[in-house]
Structure 1
């Protein structure tokens, strides 16, 4: 007789949770009619963390994707007026990506959608459980970051 695989069960629970979280976030985005995909949302949030407009290569590195994926995301966001391509003032061959005013507005909507999704996800937990959960998430994320370095 084989013994149960507790890590296998935990892995399955983790995968189910991440799929559920993704569906809830997507639902909240759709309710607010922001009109962008989760991947585009991630790019907008990443753009907002730069002090000055980054290059596409900078975004690809930060998002850990191939440059072509960033080009596709930027094309879609630019078509909807959320970002614009701007020439680098010191090197005309370099193109930088800037948030537009509509992009900033979308970021505010994204933040509100993510907040309401988090409230829905965390609703079953007590304050104490939320604190423990937050600590566990930090531990997991720190472990992932350490292994990638």
Structure 2
């Protein structure tokens, strides 16, 4: 039973990622870039590069090309940290904030389409159950 549950969760996750990737394509973002943009947009105060890497659960050197792409697209800018001149802060631009709204909408639509087969009560029950598993896994 546990392996069947794992297979089902994996399959649903795969469908979510695939649908999300397809919706992000027209926006010119990869799922990794969109995720980084989301973390940067939600951060208060602005994050340092190393903090972004921690929140994305990737090694710090892997975050540089992601931030480079976001900066090149005008969605994020690097600023010197006034508290530590050796650190760089990541600040979302107004264009990045607008794009983040599009990313959120793409994510919402994919989830809406995938979970449309469930009633509102079933979706809430699934959310509660997955939250229990997610919080237990820490």
Q: Same fold per TM (> 0.5)?
A: yes
Matched, 1:25 2:20: yes
Unpaired stretches in structure 2, ≥5 consecutive residues: none
Shift >4 Å, 4+ stretches: none
Residues 1-149 of structure 1: pairs in structure 2 closer than 5 A: 6-30=1-25, 33-145=26-138
Tell me the CA shift for residue 28 of structure 1. 2.2
Unpaired stretches in structure 1, ≥5 consecutive residues: 1-5
Give, in whole Å, the separation in 1 of the partners of 2:69 and 2:88.
Answer: 16
Question: Residues 90 and 7 (structure 1 numbering): CA distance in 2 closer, same or farther, change over 3 Å?
Answer: closer
Tell me the CA shift for residue 137 of structure 1. 1.3
Tell me the CA shift for residue 23 of structure 1. 0.8
Q: State the superposition RMSD in angstroms.
A: 1.2
Larger Rg over CA atoms: 1
Higher strand share: 2
Give, in whole Å, the separation in 1 of the partners of 2:12 and 2:111.
Answer: 13
Give, in whole Å, the separation in 2 of the partners of 1:88 and 1:128.
Answer: 47
Q: How many residues align structurally?
A: 138
Higher helix share: 2
